[in-house]
Amino acid sequence: MPDALLDTIGRFHPMAVHLPVGLLVALAAWECWRAVVLRRAGARAGEGPETRAQASMHVPVFLCWLAVLGSGVAIGTGLLHEGEIGRDATTDLHKWLGIGVGVSALVTAVGATLARSGVGPIATAYRVVLLITFAGLIPAGHLGGTITHGEGYLFERLLDRGTPEPVVGPSTRNGPDPASGAGATGAGDPLPAPIDAETLGVRARQILAANCESCHGPARARNRLRVDSLEAMIEGGRHGPAIVPGDPPSSPLLERLRLPLEVRGHMPPRDEPQPSAEDIDLIEAWIASLGPSAGEPG
């Protein structure tokens, strides 16, 4: 199958996971209802807890097997999606937790089927496994959210760590009144103050670390690209090298930075903090300053 088709099927993963999640939540709610309401009603009617509990097992058995089917689809699309977004520590953990939840859902379904009498040790075991499956959903789902939205997204509004201070380029610190010189540094203008190669490299790394490393670093490497070393950038990601030393126009990393914000593929993604125009100029100057043998060992 062509890559584009597999990637497209993989992109259904974030949607597909909601079916088994919803079913498992419904199952847990059903079990609570069965344990409390049905038992009491049965006892009141004088027919003992078994009869009604037994009658009510058809629904959980059905929901369980539907959840197993849904988990299978979620795992399959997830494995395809991994091919597109690349692997890192977070996606690996998410994957194994997700597969664990799928296996646990299967055990739950077998338990529910065997426990159709609704009472007895198998029925108890079924509820315990259901609880474990449900508990596994929470970290698996949370890591899924981390992969799509970035580390710390969920509570970032409450913790107020949403917008880190932009990294200020050396150019903005030069004039006595930065506001009056704002229009002076358009694209293509040389940097106002020449800085030595080492400082340039350090500054470039700081800008990339501040703006890109949450998604292209050791913890996560979207599209397999890491920007925490020059070698890694030259090696690049899914679509090949991100940087061609000495050749800014051929460096996709710079091209992505310069794409208009609203164009697909612009980096960092639209709702992330953006580097300043000066920062981008500095990255360009840095790539231009690299010799052709940059990044090679020795």
- Rounded Cα distance between 168 and 174, Å, is 11
Q: Could you tell me the smallest distance in angstroms from the CB atom of residue 21 to ligand HEC?
A: 23
When asked if residue 118 is in the footprint of ligand HEC (CB under 6 A), the reply is: no
When asked if residue 162 is in the footprint of ligand HEC (CB under 6 A), the reply is: no
Query: Which range, of 16-24, 87-95, 161-169, 265-273, touches ligand HEC by CB under 6 A?
Result: 265-273
Token code pair at residue 246: 């000495």
Q: Could you tell me the smallest distance in angstroms from the CB atom of residue 32 to ligand HEC?
A: 38
Closer to ligand HEC by Cβ: residue 172 or 274: 274
Q: Could you tell me the smallest distance in angstroms from the CB atom of residue 167 to ligand HEC?
A: 11
Q: Could you tell me the smallest distance in angstroms from the CB atom of residue 211 to ligand HEC?
A: 4
Reference 137, options 17, 13, 220; nearest CA is 17
Q: Could you tell me the smallest distance in angstroms from the CB atom of residue 265 to ligand HEC?
A: 5
Contact yes or no for 245/290 (Cβ under 8 A): yes
Closer to ligand HEC by Cβ: residue 192 or 252: 252
User: If you compute the radius of gyration of the chain from its CA atoms, what whole number of angstroms results?
Assistant: 27
- Within residues 172-211, the interface with ligand HEC by CB under 6 A covers 211
Contact yes or no for 97/20 (Cβ under 8 A): no
- Rounded Cα distance between 203 and 212, Å, is 14
- Written as one string, the DSSP assignment of 109-178 is HHHHHHTTTS-SHHHHHHHHHHHHHHHHHHHHHHHHHHHHH-TTTTTHHHHT-SSPPPPPPGGGGTSS-T
- Rounded Cα distance between 202 and 206, Å, is 6
When asked if residue 248 is in the footprint of ligand HEC (CB under 6 A), the reply is: no
Reference 172, options 275, 255, 253; nearest CA is 275
Listed in sequence order, the residues at least 6 apart from 35 whose beta carbon sits closer than 8 Å to its beta carbon are 127
Contact yes or no for 112/57 (Cβ under 8 A): yes
When asked if residue 7 is in the footprint of ligand HEC (CB under 6 A), the reply is: no
When asked if residue 239 is in the footprint of ligand HEC (CB under 6 A), the reply is: yes
Token code pair at residue 187: 């694209």
Query: Which range, of 30-38, 96-104, 171-179, 248-256, touches ligand HEC by CB under 6 A?
Result: 248-256
When asked if residue 13 is in the footprint of ligand HEC (CB under 6 A), the reply is: no
When asked if residue 252 is in the footprint of ligand HEC (CB under 6 A), the reply is: yes
- Rounded Cα distance between 48 and 39, Å, is 8
Closer to ligand HEC by Cβ: residue 116 or 256: 256
- Rounded Cα distance between 208 and 268, Å, is 10
What number of chain residues touch ligand HEC (CB under 6 A)? 25
- DSSP class of residue 224 equals G
When asked if residue 216 is in the footprint of ligand HEC (CB under 6 A), the reply is: yes
When asked if residue 10 is in the footprint of ligand HEC (CB under 6 A), the reply is: no
Query: Which range, of 15-23, 122-130, 251-259, 287-295, touches ligand HEC by CB under 6 A?
Result: 251-259
Closer to ligand HEC by Cβ: residue 228 or 272: 272
Contact residues for ligand HEC (CB under 6 A)? 150, 211-212, 214-216, 222-223, 225, 227, 236-239, 242, 252-253, 256-257, 265, 267-269, 272, 275
